[in-house]
Chain A
Amino acid sequence: MNWLRQLLSRRQQYRELSEEIQTHLDEKVEELVADGISEEKARQMAMREFGNVGLVEQKGRDVWAWPSVENWLADVRYAGRSLRKNPGFTAVALLTIALGIGANAAVFTVLNSVLLKPLNYPHAEELVGLHQTAPGAQGLADFTNGLLLSPSMYFTYSEHNQTLQSLGVWIAGNANVTGRAEPEQVRTIAVTDGVLETLGVPPAAGRWFSETDQVPRGPETVMLSYDYWQRRFGGSPTVVGQNLTIDSRSREIVGVMPKGFQIVDQNFDVLAPLALDRGKAILAGFGFHGIARLRPGKTLAEANADITRMLPIWMDSFSNGPGTNPHIYETWRITPMIRPLKQEVIGNVGELLWVVMGTIGLVMLIACANVTNLLLVRVEARQQELAVRAALGSGWMRIVRGLLVESLMLGLMGGVVGIGLTFAGVRLLLAIGPTNLPRLNEIALDARTLGFTLLLSVLSGVLFGAIPTLKYAAPRAVSALPSLGRTMSASRERHHTRNLLVVGQVAMALVLLVSAGLMIRTFRALRTVDPGFRDPRHLQLVRISIPDSLVAEPSRVTRIQNAIVDKLAAIQGVSSAAFSSGMPLEAVDSPWDEIFAQDKVYSGDQIAPLRLYKNISPGLLKTAGTKLMAGREMTWGEVYGLRPEVLISENLAREMWGTPSAAIGKQLRAFQQMPWHEVIGVVEDVREKSVQEKAPEIVYWPPLVNNRFAPAIRSATFVIRSERAGTESFLNEIQGAVWSVNSNLPLASVRTMQEVYDKSLARTSFTLVMLGLAGAMALALGVIGIYGVMSYTVSQRKPEIGIRLALGAQQKDVLEMVLRQGMQWALVGVGIGAAAGFGLTQLMRALLFGVSAHDPLTFIGVAAVLIFIALLACYVPARRAVLVDPTVALRYE
């Protein structure tokens, strides 16, 4: 605290010093007068003996002052003045830096919020997703999203684990809320005991589910999300204790979760207890997401070992019914791969964000190179000033520091403007970013973003300040003086720095343009993939669920759905209508099952290959424009007659029987008690999960099946083909048509197939836009950079060119010489960029489709474009130079 005291008492010290000096002089005078000298003379003598009072005081004060701080302030003031004196330079440099910093900070904000920040749960580092795989399972081959948990696994794990504080399973779904204005479909998540306890976020009102809420057929309770509470109950404080009719059952609202609370990556409107019945649990039913909280000090590896230990217990404790072998699952080789919950939430978006961050970072480097160039030119123009300062005794360090302070100030000012741009940039990113980006609602500027911006400002300030400073301030300060005013061609060494900058800029621009080019090629490749449906713009989709509490009888459900289809088809402008358990790319998780063929042999201790299955109504293929490769669609008569008939995908037909037509007439079933179903049609392959992913093998059951587990589908996507798809009036008519059949049915997920398709490409198009923007910025900055360097170099060489011309050189030859010298550096840049791009594009391989990371066409095309642009940027100033009249050029000498 000593320095603080000193700071505060500084003025006091100064006053005391002055008083002391005065006293000293008085005492001296008095002594001299006592010796018999006249007062006036004595005062003069005293002053002489003492020395310069002002200087002494100054030196005394210096002891207490902070010379370094005050010198820095002087440097800052000086830098500010010199920046103000060159508004053109300052504006261009500032804008370049601000754009670079703003873009970087915006992308970093997203990256930070999505990837780096811990999840919004207390002690989120202890949370894990109970991920597991089954590499031994056939057919579906890889469970790309992992093998989810079955209820029996949940019971086994929660009863026998030794590494977890708590665990629970959950499943997302939909439900119809009625009795409050219009019927509404809401997003539900059903949770077991342990889910809320694991996440550890207390309710905003009321309470969590209790153990008694989880008793099967026990009390019917529900919790609300904050948003749903606000939206439907206006945030009423008395909502706890009220009832809500969900799927025609009245449930008591026991609590409200706080704002922003999600179950892992899922938003919801209402939470309900899953109320699993332990007595009825079988081994199968792998449909539930598991989450857990590790006990303190336990590692992922220990938890994995714990699950591995429990798998035999699971198989010993449960079965799939009499006569089945519970240890049949050993062939699946179920392997726990527990991972941090954060990884579960963010999925594979990390790759995309890092690639975008990397490209934007490169743009920043190019921007820095441009500013460096500007500063180089400026420092050169200031040689005289610097030399004079040096000659007047200004220290080397002081000059270097002055220049650095100036560039740091530019960096920091750029950072301040950049922060403003960041706000706009984040908003833009959110607008164009994929809506299925995880943690989208958590994206916000925080201290880390501000820290990043500050760091970036300082680093860029140092980066573009260091080169000109080191290059010019130190060694030339003295030697510059004699040559002042003398125009001569700059030395080779001087050009060297600038040429290196050109090389760097061209190289980086090439890398960015190549990555943008690869994304364009990817996007084009994706657009040419046949997804297995036609003209999606004119396909209207709407999801309707019929809960069993509303309609119990399965065949009645199908009849209601049939009636809806008929009503929809009767709307003016509709060419056909149908429904399916889920349309391709819709991100409805299609279920899977074992599929046996009658003419194949299956060994008893093995599980048959697993296949995705769907249920489709008659007319769906025709409506969606999905081609039949062989056979025919089903009729409504056959559906109601429970005719055992089925359709399969082309790739499944080829795998099992060689050709589509060979599959017709073959028999399939999903389990022993099910009758054999005859294959009557083979459907073209459909991109189910994403356009990128290969089409899976699919079995298409009719909407009503002779199957005790799932006799009728209750949630279906209705598909309507019409030119009017997506229009307001059309949607109203659809709603009227549905409600004329049953007025308790809400319409959900109303959209066109085109929207579904676009959304599935959202990440690719987002990457394309971002890399495209980065590439465009790089190109613009690169052109400005090359042009700037070339025209400056040429203008410096004007007298030399003048001499050459005066001595008889041909304009053409001089032009060629200038071009050759300029182009050689651009070519070096292209070469380095191509080599670097060859390595760097590997990093974005996961984002590419249908194009190699080393696509020669992209590399050659981009290189050609860059070379052409560099040629242009060299040609314009070179041309101007040779057109100058030699006598004019020489007159300056």
Chain B
Amino acid sequence: MTGKPTQRDLFPGALEMMILRTLKRQPMHGYALVQHIKRTSDDLLQIEEGSLYPALQRLLHQDLVKAEWGISSTNRRVRIYRLTAEGRKHLEREVSSFERMLKGITQVLAPGEL
């Protein structure tokens, strides 16, 4: 829309999926979550740190995660998010459908049969 080179958008729901996946391993607060996603993706995914929060709000709204106030390792009052049972199920569904989609895309993109 603007003249500036656009950063590649994630497909809808991708951010949520990554959040859920990360939280499945261990509960953490927002800042740690962002840093973790950035680190594990080797900074390939250019996400604005702020965009995490609306995503977290959506997950809260859908009862896929829950949040509790606690103290972080750096001694701050932070909200720690953890996966709910519902969130766990949702993640499984999403991942398997994502894998199917990815398989489809890969097959189409695979060289040779053109």
- A residues adjacent to B (C-beta < 8 A): 6, 13, 16-17, 20-21, 23-24, 26-28, 30, 49-53, 55-56, 59-60, 62-64
Asked if B27 is at the interface (CB within 8 A of a chain A CB), the reply is: no
Q: Could you say which of B31, B53, B77 has the most chain A C-beta atoms within 10 Å of its C-beta?
A: B53
- A21-B61 contact, Cβ under 8 Å, with A16-B79, A27-B74: no
- A49-B49 contact, Cβ under 8 Å, with A23-B77, A60-B54: yes
Whether A24 lies near B74 (C-beta < 8 A) is no
Whether B58 lies near A51 (C-beta < 8 A) is no
Whether B30 lies near A50 (C-beta < 8 A) is no
A48 shortest CB reach to chain B, Å: 9
Cβ–Cβ < 8 Å partners of A55 in chain B: 50
Task: Using CB atoms, name the residue of chain B closest to A56.
Answer: B50
Cβ–Cβ < 8 Å partners of A63 in chain B: 54, 57-58, 60-61
What 0/1 pattern do residues 70 to 100 of B give for CB contact below 8 A with A?
0010101111000000000000000000000
Cβ–Cβ < 8 Å partners of A49 in chain B: 48-49
Whether B31 lies near A28 (C-beta < 8 A) is yes
Which of A20, A50, A53 lies in contact with B78, CB distance below 8 A?
A20
Whether A51 lies near B61 (C-beta < 8 A) is no
Q: Could you say which of B31, B51, B58, B77 has the most chain A C-beta atoms within 10 Å of its C-beta?
A: B31
Cβ–Cβ < 8 Å partners of A6 in chain B: 61
Whether B51 lies near A56 (C-beta < 8 A) is yes
Cβ–Cβ < 8 Å partners of A17 in chain B: 53, 57
Kindly list 16 other residue pairs between chains A and B, CB separation below 8 angstroms, not including A21-B53, A23-B77: A6-B61, A23-B78, A24-B30, A24-B34, A27-B31, A27-B74, A50-B49, A52-B50, A56-B50, A56-B53, A56-B54, A59-B54, A62-B54, A63-B57, A63-B61, A64-B57
Q: How far is the CA of A243 from the CA of B108 in the complex (A)?
A: 106
Whether B57 lies near A60 (C-beta < 8 A) is yes
Q: How far is the CA of A52 from the CA of B34 in the complex (A)?
A: 16
Q: How far is the CA of A132 from the CA of B51 in the complex (A)?
A: 83
Q: How far is the CA of A51 from the CA of B53 in the complex (A)?
A: 11
Cβ–Cβ < 8 Å partners of B74 in chain A: 27, 30
A596 shortest CB reach to chain B, Å: 94
Which of A28, A30, A50 lies in contact with B48, CB distance below 8 A?
A50
Whether A51 lies near B77 (C-beta < 8 A) is no
A363 shortest CB reach to chain B, Å: 51
Cβ–Cβ < 8 Å partners of B60 in chain A: 63
B2 shortest CB reach to chain A, Å: 14
A55 shortest CB reach to chain B, Å: 8
Which of B48, B58, B61, B79 lies in contact with A20, CB distance below 8 A?
B79
Whether A64 lies near B77 (C-beta < 8 A) is no
Q: How many residues of B contact A (CB 8 A)?
A: 19
Task: Using CB atoms, name the residue of chain A closest to B67.
Answer: A16
A69 shortest CB reach to chain B, Å: 16
Q: How far is the CA of A26 from the CA of B61 in the complex (A)?
A: 26
Q: How far is the CA of A17 from the CA of B34 in the complex (A)?
A: 16
Cβ–Cβ < 8 Å partners of A26 in chain B: 76
Cβ–Cβ < 8 Å partners of B31 in chain A: 23-24, 27-28
Q: How far is the CA of A53 from the CA of B30 in the complex (A)?
A: 15
Whether A20 lies near B50 (C-beta < 8 A) is no
Q: How far is the CA of A63 from the CA of B60 in the complex (A)?
A: 9
Q: How far is the CA of A64 from the CA of B56 in the complex (A)?
A: 12
- A64-B61 contact, Cβ under 8 Å, with A24-B30, A27-B74: yes
Give me 22 A-to-B residue pairs in the complex whose CB atoms sit less than 8 angstroms apart, sorted by A's number.
Answer: A13-B57, A16-B79, A23-B30, A23-B31, A23-B77, A24-B49, A27-B31, A27-B76, A28-B31, A50-B48, A50-B50, A51-B50, A51-B51, A53-B50, A56-B50, A56-B51, A56-B53, A56-B54, A59-B54, A62-B54, A63-B60, A64-B57
B62 shortest CB reach to chain A, Å: 9
B53 shortest CB reach to chain A, Å: 5
B49 shortest CB reach to chain A, Å: 5
Q: How far is the CA of A16 from the CA of B66 in the complex (A)?
A: 14
Task: Using CB atoms, name the residue of chain A closest to B33.
Answer: A24
Q: Which 3 A-B pairs have the closest CB atoms?
A: A51-B48, A51-B50, A59-B54
B83 shortest CB reach to chain A, Å: 18
Q: How far is the CA of A598 from the CA of B12 in the complex (A)?
A: 107
Q: Could you say which of B31, B50, B60, B61 has the most chain A C-beta atoms within 10 Å of its C-beta?
A: B50
Q: How far is the CA of A60 from the CA of B31 in the complex (A)?
A: 16
**Which residues of B, 21-77, contact A by the 8 Å Cβ criterion?**
30-31, 34, 48-51, 53-54, 57-58, 60-61, 72, 74, 76-77
Task: Using CB atoms, name the residue of chain B closest to A52.
Answer: B50
Whether B78 lies near A51 (C-beta < 8 A) is no
B65 shortest CB reach to chain A, Å: 13
Task: Using CB atoms, name the residue of chain B closest to A28.
Answer: B31
Q: How far is the CA of A706 from the CA of B34 in the complex (A)?
A: 117
Cβ–Cβ < 8 Å partners of A52 in chain B: 50
Q: How far is the CA of A17 from the CA of B76 in the complex (A)?
A: 15
Cβ–Cβ < 8 Å partners of A53 in chain B: 50
Cβ–Cβ < 8 Å partners of B48 in chain A: 49-51
A584 shortest CB reach to chain B, Å: 81
Which of A28, A60, A64 lies in contact with B53, CB distance below 8 A?
A60
Q: How far is the CA of A6 from the CA of B31 in the complex (A)?
A: 25
Task: Using CB atoms, name the residue of chain A closest to B54.
Answer: A59
A24 shortest CB reach to chain B, Å: 5
Whether A20 lies near B54 (C-beta < 8 A) is no
Cβ–Cβ < 8 Å partners of A13 in chain B: 57
Cβ–Cβ < 8 Å partners of B58 in chain A: 63
Cβ–Cβ < 8 Å partners of A60 in chain B: 53-54, 57
Whether B50 lies near A21 (C-beta < 8 A) is yes
Q: How far is the CA of A55 from the CA of B31 in the complex (A)?
A: 18
Task: Using CB atoms, name the residue of chain B closest to A21.
Answer: B53
Task: Using CB atoms, name the residue of chain A closest to B38.
Answer: A49
Which of A20, A59, A64 lies in contact with B30, CB distance below 8 A?
A20
Q: Could you say which of B31, B54, B57, B76 has the most chain A C-beta atoms within 10 Å of its C-beta?
A: B57
Task: Using CB atoms, name the residue of chain B closest to A26.
Answer: B76
Q: How far is the CA of A24 from the CA of B48 in the complex (A)?
A: 13
Cβ–Cβ < 8 Å partners of A23 in chain B: 30-31, 76-78
Q: Could you say which of A62, A63, A64 has the most chain B C-beta atoms within 10 Å of its C-beta?
A: A63
Task: Using CB atoms, name the residue of chain B closest to A24.
Answer: B31
Q: How far is the CA of A21 from the CA of B78 in the complex (A)?
A: 10
B4 shortest CB reach to chain A, Å: 14
Task: Using CB atoms, name the residue of chain A closest to B34.
Answer: A24
Q: How far is the CA of A23 from the CA of B34 in the complex (A)?
A: 13
A311 shortest CB reach to chain B, Å: 73
B84 shortest CB reach to chain A, Å: 14
Q: How far is the CA of A748 from the CA of B61 in the complex (A)?
A: 78
Cβ–Cβ < 8 Å partners of B57 in chain A: 13, 17, 59-60, 63-64
Q: Could you say which of A13, A20, A30, A59 has the most chain B C-beta atoms within 10 Å of its C-beta?
A: A20
Cβ–Cβ < 8 Å partners of A16 in chain B: 79
A194 shortest CB reach to chain B, Å: 65
B70 shortest CB reach to chain A, Å: 12
Task: Using CB atoms, name the residue of chain B closest to A46.
Answer: B49
Cβ–Cβ < 8 Å partners of A64 in chain B: 57, 61
Cβ–Cβ < 8 Å partners of B76 in chain A: 23, 26-27
Cβ–Cβ < 8 Å partners of B78 in chain A: 20, 23
Whether A20 lies near B49 (C-beta < 8 A) is no
Q: How far is the CA of A59 from the CA of B15 in the complex (A)?
A: 15
Cβ–Cβ < 8 Å partners of B50 in chain A: 21, 50-53, 55-56
Q: How far is the CA of A27 from the CA of B35 in the complex (A)?
A: 11
Q: How far is the CA of A757 from the CA of B102 in the complex (A)?
A: 92
Cβ–Cβ < 8 Å partners of A59 in chain B: 53-54, 57
Cβ–Cβ < 8 Å partners of B34 in chain A: 24
B25 shortest CB reach to chain A, Å: 20
B50 shortest CB reach to chain A, Å: 4
Task: Using CB atoms, name the residue of chain A closest to B72.
Answer: A27
Task: Using CB atoms, name the residue of chain A closest to B69.
Answer: A16
Q: Could you say which of A23, A49, A52, A64 has the most chain B C-beta atoms within 10 Å of its C-beta?
A: A23
Q: How far is the CA of A327 from the CA of B54 in the complex (A)?
A: 94
Q: How far is the CA of A498 from the CA of B103 in the complex (A)?
A: 58
Cβ–Cβ < 8 Å partners of B77 in chain A: 23
Cβ–Cβ < 8 Å partners of A51 in chain B: 48-51
Q: How far is the CA of A36 from the CA of B77 in the complex (A)?
A: 24
